[in-house]
Amino acid sequence: MAILKIARMGHPVLIRRADPVPDPTAPEIRRLVADMLETMEDAGGVGLAAPQVHVPLRLFVFRVPAGRADGGEAVGNTAIINPVLEAMEDVVALGWEGCLSIPGLRGVVPRAVRIRYRGLDAAGEPMTGEAAGFQARVMQHEQDHLNGVLYPMRMTDFTRFGFDEELARASREEESQP
């Protein structure tokens, strides 16, 4: 396994549409998934799409840590190949997002609250399911990477976009107001 280099915003691989994985059971795809999981964990992220490691193919990995499942269930390291996502209803929620390709920043992004997904798992077997809340947000964020879309391109309120450190300081100061 290996830790892969993560492309940062500005690199053209992040704004092109990725191609379908032609052979999901190929050994190089298995290796890519293992390396992406290791890279995601090393970077402390909750999702990573193949274009972020300079591979323009339609697959991503993600996880939902117990502390961030917001009422839903924690999800261990998961890979999905050639994923298709659809919103189950028109309800959209705003939530903070960051991205390993846009280090140091975060912003508030509207996302569908409930989605249905299908694709292939790391063994090439069909997988399908529904997701809500944080998991739905992470999956939509990663799916966007496969279409060359970065989260700032989804934002509608740029007053809620900034550097992590500043936002954390501002919320600390707000909390300490009498």
Please, what is the minimum distance in Å from the beta carbon of residue 2 to Ni ion?
Answer: 20
- Angle, CA 40 vertex, CA 158 and CA 117 arms, to 5°: 75
How many residues form the binding site for Ni ion (CB under 5 A)? 1
Nearest CB to Ni ion, comparing residues 21 and 99:
99
Q: For residue 103, what are the contacts with CB-CB under 8 A and spacing of at least 6?
A: 8
Token output for 149: 């879309």
In this structure, the number of other CB atoms found within 10 A of the CB of residue 66 comes to: 8
Please, what is the minimum distance in Å from the beta carbon of residue 119 to Ni ion?
Answer: 18
Return the range that interacts with Ni ion (CB under 5 A); candidates 36-44, 79-87, 94-102, 166-174. 94-102
3-class secondary structure, 63: strand
50 forms part of the interface with Ni ion (CB under 5 A): no
Nearest CB to Ni ion, comparing residues 29 and 99:
99
Please, what is the minimum distance in Å from the beta carbon of residue 53 to Ni ion?
Answer: 11
CA distances from 8 to 53, 65, 113, 142 (A): 9, 24, 27, 15
99 forms part of the interface with Ni ion (CB under 5 A): yes
The gap from C-alpha 75 to its chain's centroid, in whole angstroms, comes to 14
* Active-site entry in 28, 142, 166, 173: 142
Q: How far apart are CA 79 and CA 10, in angstroms?
A: 25
Active site residue 89: no
Please, what is the minimum distance in Å from the beta carbon of residue 117 to Ni ion?
Answer: 17
Q: How far apart are CA 150 and CA 20, in angstroms?
A: 19
Nearest CB to Ni ion, comparing residues 81 and 99:
99
59 forms part of the interface with Ni ion (CB under 5 A): no
Nearest CB to Ni ion, comparing residues 42 and 125:
42
Residue with tokens 């999800």: 75
48 forms part of the interface with Ni ion (CB under 5 A): no
3-class secondary structure, 164: helix
Q: Which residues of the chain form contacts with Ni ion (CB under 5 A)?
A: 99
Catalytic site positions:
142
